[in-house]
Amino acid sequence: MSAVSSDGKIFSVAGRGSKYESRQDIASVIDGIDPTLTEEVHFGGNTLGVDASLALAEWLQKATNIKVADFADIFTGRLITEIPQALSAICDALIDKTSLVEINLSDNAFGGRSVDPMVPFLTKNRRFQVLKLNNNGLGPDGGVVLANALLESARLSKLEGQASNLRVFICGRNRLEDGSAPAWAEAFAAHAGLEEIRMPQNGIRMDGITALAGGLAKNPNLRYIDLQDNTFTFEGGLSGVKAWADSLRAWPYLTTLNLSDCFLSAKGEVPELISTLAEGSNPNLHTLQLQNNNLEAETLQLLAENVMQNMRSLRSLELQWNDFEDDDENLSALRVGLKQRGGKLFVTDEEEEEEEEEEDAEKEAQTEKEAELEMDLEDKAGKGKTEKDEADELADLMSNVKIQ
């Protein structure tokens, strides 16, 4: 049985681990579901063959109100020869969907050889706002193909006098490397309305990081940037750090910046990027992640002297695995200062684990509270129904009574 919401708007078989090979396999889950009512489709965590994908695509073509298309992790165990045709069928079915807001194709091992089927969709559907392409093994060549598709999309929108709708781009763990970074920078600059960029663990080095800074600087509405585990410096070269320092003021609404594991400084240096942050370049910055960046006592002192005055929105500062002593007095100053404003400094893994446990406990308490409220409402509804039924029964009895 398929999981369909009571109003028919959400259809999900996510995480079942099912293997859909034939048209009959797909028919077993979509028969009886009205595609014109469906707004969300979640197929992630199953595996689709070519025939099953073709049948599903025919159903998707009728889903004229679809908003969320979740096809993450749908090709596990599939041959590289199967993926292009199956992917093409699904993507082509979504080209004309003007209602589409989000598409998720993460955790599919496309590789650079299987990206072409996505190009028509990325170029022609210019309505979606959220694109998730995490862990697809794109490589630099595949990255260039997709970046150029998005660039063409922006160009076509401009020709039509329309602004880009793309707001969120997630593309981590894809080995994009320096080879594709200039293409991505050009695409980002062309779209210009981005609010969230997540590109961690892509093996992008200093030259690529420098290019990305220039492209992202054309997006003044950026609120969330995650470049964790890429490389900003190389053999004493600092062009990546300088480029990002120069771009920071272009993002006045930035709330989260994750630059952990990015080699921001060599020995004895205070990164220009952090100096710029300490000057208050981003007044709305709430979360700053700087783990494992070779930061030394001088950088810590700079932060301690400026966080309270120039970084007034900061609530979460992560400094684990850097090169300063655990008993540095500037750590104490930062810890006390952030705590006074309801924030927290993270210097050890234990502190991070404690925070996660607190968040989990809060979520669990909220879930229990919602469950209790739902049960209370059901009890009240049941009681109301019982009282009404009793009143109806009494009225029926009275109607049968004849006064002599």
Contact 196, 167 (CB under 8 A): yes
Please tell me the predicted confidence (pLDDT) of residue 361: 63
The pairing of strands 3-4 and 10-12 is antiparallel
> What digits encode the pLDDT tens for the residues 2-31?
589 999 999 999 999 999 999 999 999 999
> Whole-angstrom Cα distance, residue 314 to residue 304?
12
Q: What is the pLDDT of residue 377?
A: 47
Per-chain mean pLDDT for the chain: 92
Q: Is the pLDDT of residue 271 over 80?
A: yes
How do residues 325-381 score in pLDDT, each as one tens digit? 999 999 999 999 999 999 999 999 876 566 666 666 677 767 666 556 555 544 554
Among 188, 245, 251, residue whose Cα is nearest residue 224: 251
Alpha-carbon dihedral sign for residues 129, 133, 37, 8: negative
pLDDT in tens, 58-103: 999 999 999 999 999 999 999 999 999 999 999 999 999 999 999 9
Q: Read off the pLDDT of residues 130-142 as tens digits, 9 standing for 90 and up.
A: 999 999 999 999 9
CA 67 – CA 70 distance, rounded (Å): 10
* Single pTM value for the model: 0.88
User: Does the pLDDT value for residue 115 go beyond 50?
Assistant: yes
Residue 220: closest CA among 190, 246, 195: 195
Distance, CA of 351 to CA of 194 (rounded, Å): 32
As given in the structure block, the two tokens for residue 228 are 């964790």
CB contact at 8 A, 97 and 64: yes
* pLDDT on residue 350: 77
In terms of Cα–Cα distance, which of 188, 212, 189 is closest to 200?
A: 212
Contacts of residue 309, Cβ cutoff 8 Å, sequence gap at least 6: 280
Per-residue pLDDT at 401 exceeds 50: no
Instruction: Give mean pLDDT, residues 383-390.
Output: 51
Q: Cβ distance 45 to 16 under 8 Å?
A: yes
What residues contact 8, with CB distance under 8 A and at least 6 apart? 33, 34, 37, 38
Q: How much is the average pLDDT of 155-176?
A: 98
Quick one: which of 260, 254, 315 has its CA closest to 283? 254
* pLDDT tens, position by position, 200-236: 999 999 999 999 999 999 999 999 999 999 999 999 8
